[in-house]
């Protein structure tokens, strides 16, 4: 049971972050949208996006300050696979207008049909991909 407490509490903090951004600033806490819009030409609303991202990067440091250790990050993918994955995640989240946060945390919470479709689709694609990499004919 304790194995589920940290994920549940961490998830609740993520949900609180999304609720805060909505109720204070009226915005969706979607990471790919916040980041991707900064890469665009429009200078509109850059400041709060930068402030959010600075906070996001400071979060793990705060975690280390509170617990005395960094969160675990185990990366198994070789470098070419990391590059391919990054390109797909960057392009795909912009084309699909959201990622795990915008469609998952925020979209499901506000019962958006687009987000339900997106979450079901990217979960299925990720599960199939992991299956093929780990259990597919290549192995």
Partner 1 sequence: MNAPRLLAAFGSGLLFGLGLALSGMMDPGRVLGFLDVAGAWDPSLAFVLAGAVAVSALGYALRGRMARPALAPRFEVPTNRSVDARLLVGAVLFGIGWGLAGFCPGPALAGLTLGLPEVALFVAAMLAGMLLYRFTAERAPAVGP
- Applying the rule CB under 8 A, the residues between 11 and 30 that interact with partner 1 are 11-30
- Applying the rule CB under 8 A, the residues between 102 and 131 that interact with partner 1 are 102-110, 112-115, 117-119, 121-131
Q: What would the two tokens of residue 30 be?
A: 């979607």
Orientation of helix 31-38 relative to helix 46-67, angle to 10°:
130
Q: Does 39 bind partner 1 (CB under 8 A)?
A: yes
Q: Are 106 and 28 in contact (CB under 8 A)?
A: yes
Task: State the nearest-atom distance from the C-beta of 80 to partner 1, in Å.
Answer: 10
Residue 73 dihedral angles phi and psi, to the nearest 5°: -135, 100
Assess 137 for contact with partner 1 (CB under 8 A): no
C-alpha closest to that of 94 among 35, 43, 22: 35
Which residues 6+ apart lie within 8 Å of 39 measured at CB?
Answer: none
In whole angstroms, the minimum distance from the beta carbon of 16 to partner 1 comes to: 5
Q: Is 138 in the site for partner 1 (CB under 8 A)?
A: no
Size of the site for partner 1 (CB under 8 A): 114
135 belongs to the binding site for partner 1 (CB under 8 A): yes
43 binds partner 1 (CB under 8 A): no
Binding mask 65-84 for partner 1 (x = CB under 8 A): -x---xxxxxxxx-x-xxxx
d(CA 127, CA 99): 15
Task: Give dist(CA 58, CA 52) in Å, integer.
Answer: 10
What is the smallest separation between the CB atom of 123 and partner 1, expressed in angstroms?
A: 7
């Amino acid at each position: 049971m304790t194995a589920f407490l940290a994920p549940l509490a961490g998830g609740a903090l993520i949900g609180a972050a999304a609720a805060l951004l909505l109720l204070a600033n009226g915005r969706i806490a979607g990471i790919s949208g916040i980041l991707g819009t900064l890469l665009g030409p429009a200078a509109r609303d850059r400041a709060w996006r930068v402030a959010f991202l600075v906070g996001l990067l400071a979060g793990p440091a705060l975690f280390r300050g509170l617990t005395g250790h960094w969160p675990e990050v185990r990366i198994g993918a070789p470098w070419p696979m990391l590059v391919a994955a990054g390109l797909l995640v960057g392009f795909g989240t912009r084309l699909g207008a959201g990622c795990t946060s915008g469609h998952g945390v925020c979209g499901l919470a506000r019962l958006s049909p687009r987000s339900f479709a997106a979450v079901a689709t990217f979960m299925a694609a990720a599960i199939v991909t992991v299956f093929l990499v780990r259990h597919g004919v290549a192995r």
